[in-house]
Amino acid sequence: MGTTVVDVDTDEVLADLTYIGQREKVAQGGFHGLGNTRYKSSVNRSPTQTTKGSPGELRNLRLELKVLADVGLLGLPNAGKSTFIRSVSAARPKVADYPFTTLVPNLGVVRTEAHRSFVVADIPGIIEGAAEGAGLGIRFLKHLARNRVLLHLVDMAPWDEQSPAESAKVAVRELTRFSATLAQQPRWLVLNKLDLLPEDERESACQAVVDALDWQGPVYSISALNKMGLQALVHDLQDFLDARVAAIAENPALLDEEQATRAIIDHEARVNLERLRQEMRAKREEADWDDDFDDDDYDVEVEYVR
């Protein structure tokens, strides 16, 4: 699940595997040949006639894996995304007091009640210049294409000299450059690590980030480490997702619109990733890098913990 099959030559999406047991035909096989027994009859007991099979369809395919999650975490390195997913689920991604501890996507199931839950995805953080390949680049942002809501985590007690408002702007800018359509999807602002700020400074610090982004959407002030404010956020996410499912059940056309939007995001992602690959190839040729380096190798390991 989560695999998208793309025709390399036409850039056409041939299949999108979104549920267990789904089967799709991406190439037509050739018709088998007919043996001599097919022409056997009462007057021709030993026929010598046969026919050759026809060739099947030949396609160059690219298989793209995107993790399937309801909620995606967006933010710069060290924003507290891994701590957040550890606090709300059974997932145990690596957490340390330095950036870039998350190198692969992690999935966790958040269970709000006995029969209510959703899946959250934590991806490696992005940095300024990610659209040009800086840091881990933009290759992991494609995993946010299927999320119904993004949580934009902002470190309110940054370890460097960059202010929280500047960090938030960097994440939004890189997300927009990756996919303008993805940047317009539902996104909630989550101001993290408030436990590291004096109580009398928290409100003004949060308001500074909201004003800098000219933010109009939902805002949550939390501390993922000591779980401050997480319960309200998790239950609001569950209500939002349940309302979306109910709306689609009542009006199936909403699902078609959602899938069309995802197709646009996938296209924008492929365009940007291909641009990045071409730029990396050009740099490799210019610098005469090792020919064994393969910039098309984007294998992704996913840890899924219930």
pLDDT of residue 219 exceeding 70: yes
Q: Could you give the angle at which helices 253-287 and 164-178 cross, rounded to 10 degrees?
A: 100
Regarding pTM above 0.85, the answer is no
Give residue 298's pLDDT: 46
Q: How many angstroms separate the CA atoms of 43 and 300, rounded?
A: 63
Average pLDDT over residues 28-33: 90
Q: Which residue has the higher pLDDT, 265 or 251?
A: 251
Backbone angles phi, psi at 250, to 5 degrees: -80, -35
Q: Which residue has the higher pLDDT, 2 or 52?
A: 52
Of 100-104, 198-202, 223-227, give the lowest mean pLDDT range. Answer: 100-104
Name the CATH superfamily, with its identifier, for domain 68-254: P-loop containing nucleotide triphosphate hydrolases (3.40.50.300)
pLDDT of residue 99 exceeding 70: no
pLDDT of residue 290 exceeding 60: no
Of all residues in the chain, the percent with pLDDT exceeding 70 is 85
Q: How many angstroms separate the CA atoms of 203 and 3, rounded?
A: 43
pLDDT of residue 300 exceeding 60: no
- pLDDT mean across residues, the chain: 82
Give residue 97's pLDDT: 55
Give residue 17's pLDDT: 86
Pair of tokens at residue 63: 């298989």
Token pair 């692969």 is found at 104
Q: Which pairing describes strands 3-7 and 149-155: parallel, antiparallel, or unpaired?
A: unpaired
Query: What does the angle CA 66 – CA 69 – CA 73 come to, to the nearest 5 degrees?
Result: 95
Give residue 38's pLDDT: 82
Average pLDDT over residues 149-160: 88
H or E element: which one contains 49?
none
Confidence category of residue 268, pLDDT binned at 50, 70, 90: confident
Confidence category of residue 104, pLDDT binned at 50, 70, 90: low
DSSP annotation of 209 reads H
Average pLDDT over residues 275-303: 62
Q: Which residue has the higher pLDDT, 247 or 47?
A: 247
The domain ranges of the chain are 1-27+57-65, 68-254
